[in-house]
């Protein structure tokens, strides 16, 4: 939008969060609260975004340093009016509209903000409050209007008269102000109240008293303005986000039999006819193909999964899984794991920074790290690629169609040729040529145990 600037208030301490972390950096569906608000306002394409920081300012700056934001510091946190006053020096000469909102209301929708601004401009208001009519307005500031509909003031719950408490139109805490008129009003806000703070809501009454046109756009839902003040609020917001995301995926053809027990974060992509079973968590950055079976009790983080894959009771992080691959139960795919078409990684196996070739199998109780497995390789139970020598991570190469017996140790760097059989219980420290049978274990010998012989002699003498 042309001639629009944004001010986001993010200076509060958030004492009810009981945390050393600034409230606005707490995660909602894996993303800091302030980034949710930034994402919403960026869709409006404003000319500038100003973020008022205070508590934990250094941490907030570090998190958002690459985001092209103008940081405004509120060293003394003396209320929302004081916070906007701190931003005034950056916008005194700005001619347009200033959208003001809080960093702890992450669920506000961009389309709601667009409608607020459009209404504000159509009515040629000096100030427009985003409001909503709620059946239970308890706890919210009430919008007090004149008989003509002009907004006279905003009265907080604790200050409202019995008649004002019957008003159902509430203040969302989101405003659109005309600049420069707002800056004169903000400079006149007083602090004659119990907290000795400067409340932004007072600017509404000041503008009205000065003959400015003040309105309210009633178009917000309770969930959109849910403020995150404690971890109970955070959990409630998480549930709303989860429901929104799952509803979108189900509408697009994904089957989720138990949505109350399934969590898909925003940004994940899932193909049609895929089923997500209970206990599944899909994090942002993950792409899942069509007709897959994911879960139950599976975590997929920043991974790519092809079509027709099956993954159960497993953890995937930074993995690439091809078409028709089967993973689990209880497998762990770490960053750099690549499973090609039709591969299989089974129970209690771990793959890290390795390629498991097409049709190859790591069925159980094995560790494959820094390795390349060709096509049709079979890894027996208990196989380990010994990739770390204390200083370097070394590579293991296993050729096509090689059969590795159970309990084999491959001490890298090592290369095993194609069409090879490695005998169970072997430890290989040297390359094995293709087409051979590799045996690397000591000869089995049997010796008589002296204690057993002596005990047998004692038993014979007693008898």
Residues noted as catalytic: 364
> What sign does the CA torsion over 68, 72, 77, 78 have?
negative
Alpha carbon distance 113, 432 (integer Å)? 67
Alpha carbon distance 24, 376 (integer Å)? 51
Query: H or E element: which one contains 151?
Result: strand 151-155
Alpha carbon distance 212, 126 (integer Å)? 6
Distances (CA, A) of 70 to 6, 91, 110: 10, 11, 21
Those residues with Cβ within 8 angstroms of residue 367's Cβ, 6 or more apart along the chain or in another chain: 349, 350, 352, 383, 384, 385
Cis peptide before 275, with omega less than 30 degrees from 0? no
Residue 299 C-beta-side C-alpha neighbours within 13 Å: 8
CB 313 within 8 A of CB 330: yes
Those residues with Cβ within 8 angstroms of residue 63's Cβ, 6 or more apart along the chain or in another chain: 25, 32, 34
Alpha carbon distance 360, 374 (integer Å)? 7
Cis peptide before 180, with omega less than 30 degrees from 0? yes
In 13-150, at which residue ranges do the beta strands (DSSP E only) sit?
Answer: 27-28, 31-32, 48-53, 70-73, 96-102, 127-133, 142-145
* In 188-230, alpha helices (H): 202-209
Tokens of 394: 């070394």
Those residues with Cβ within 8 angstroms of residue 332's Cβ, 6 or more apart along the chain or in another chain: 314, 315, 349, 350, 351
Crossing angle of helices 202-209 and 80-91, rounded to 10°: 60
- Taking residue 65's Cβ as centre, other Cβ atoms within 10 Å add up to 10
Parallel, antiparallel or unpaired: strands 96-102 and 169-179: antiparallel
β-bridge partners, 72: 52
């Amino acid at each position: 939008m042309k001639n629009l600037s944004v001010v986001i208030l993010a200076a509060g301490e958030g004492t009810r969060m009981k945390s050393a972390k600034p409230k606005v950096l707490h995660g909602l569906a894996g993303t800091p609260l302030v980034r949710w608000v930034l994402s919403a306002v960026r869709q409006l394409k404003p000319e500038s975004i100003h973020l008022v920081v205070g508590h934990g300012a250094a941490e907030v700056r570090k998190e958002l340093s690459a985001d092209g934001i103008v940081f405004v510091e509120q060293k003394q946190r003396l209320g929302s009016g004081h916070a906007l006053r701190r931003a005034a020096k950056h916008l005194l000469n700005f001619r347009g509209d200033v959208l003001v909102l809080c960093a702890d209301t992450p669920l506000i929708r961009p389309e709601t903000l667009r409608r607020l601004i459009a209404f504000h401009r159509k009515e040629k208001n000096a100030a427009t409050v985003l409001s909503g009519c709620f059946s239970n307005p308890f706890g919210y500031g009430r919008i007090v209007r004149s008989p003509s509909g002009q907004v006279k003031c905003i009265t907080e719950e604790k200050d409202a008269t019995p008649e004002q408490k019957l008003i159902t139109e509430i203040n969302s805490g989101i405003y659109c102000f005309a600049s420069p008129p707002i800056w004169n009003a903000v400079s006149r806000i007083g602090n004659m109240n119990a907290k000795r703070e400067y409340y932004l809501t007072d600017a509404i009454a000041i503008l009205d008293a000065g003959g400015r046109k003040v309105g309210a756009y009633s178009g917000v839902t309770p969930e959109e303005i849910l403020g995150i003040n404690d971890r109970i609020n955070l959990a409630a917001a998480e549930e709303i986000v989860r429901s929104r995301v799952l509803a979108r995926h189900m509408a697009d053809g994904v089957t989720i039999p138990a949505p109350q027990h399934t969590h898909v974060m925003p940004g994940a992509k899932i193909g049609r006819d895929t089923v997500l079973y209970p206990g599944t968590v899909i994090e942002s950055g993950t792409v899942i193909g069509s007709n897959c079976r994911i879960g139950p009790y599976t975590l997929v983080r920043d991974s790519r999964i092809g079509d027709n894959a099956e993954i159960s009771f497993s953890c995937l992080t930074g993995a690439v899984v091809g078409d028709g691959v089967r993973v689990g139960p209880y497998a762990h795919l770490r960053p750099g794991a690549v499973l090609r078409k039709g591969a299989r990684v089974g129970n209690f196996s771990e793959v890290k920074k390795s390629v498991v070739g097409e049709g190859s199998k790591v069925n159980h109780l094995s560790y494959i790290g820094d390795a390349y497995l060709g096509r049709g390789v079979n890894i027996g139970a208990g196989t380990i690629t010994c990739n770390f020598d204390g200083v370097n991570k070394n590579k293991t190469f296993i050729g096509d169609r090689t059969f590795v017996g159970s309990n084999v140790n491959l001490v890298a760097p090592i290369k095993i040729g194609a069409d090879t059989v490695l005998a169970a219980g072997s430890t290989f420290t040297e390359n094995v040529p293709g087409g051979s049978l590799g045996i690397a274990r000591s000869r089995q010998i049997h010796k008589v145990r002296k204690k057993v012989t002596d005990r047998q002699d004692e038993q014979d003498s007693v008898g």
